Amino acid sequence: MKKITLEYLGKFVFERANLIKQKEEIEQKLMVIEDKTNNKKTTKEEKELDGLIENFLKLEEIDKIYLYRLINKIEIDKDKNVYIYFNFSKLNSINENLNEFIKIEEIINEKGKNLKVV
């Protein structure tokens, strides 16, 4: 059986510390690369979305092709609530905030009815 000398143990501790430091540096570099990649994807998606919406708004009639590119799926539940899932994450926030949009619209409509025209 071999004895572990203090010198050997010291080298082991030193090597372990270096490997931990290298691991942390690699993890940080990986995070930076992932952030850059995600930003490029988001920018590309935003540009594509902006172009699609701009072209969509110019149309006089809705084209199936644009609907397929914008909408991923439409669901209707048993209470006849309609849920639209878009192909772009920014548009999906519409579904998440739909109840707030409806409440705001109702408030605006109510205030409009209560206004007296002079």
Do residues 55 and 69 lie in contact, with contact meaning Cβ atoms separated by under 8 Å?
no
For residue range 35-68, list pLDDT tens digits in order.
777 766 667 777 777 777 777 777 777 778 777 8
pTM, rounded to two decimals: 0.37
Question: pLDDT at residue 19 above 80?
Answer: yes
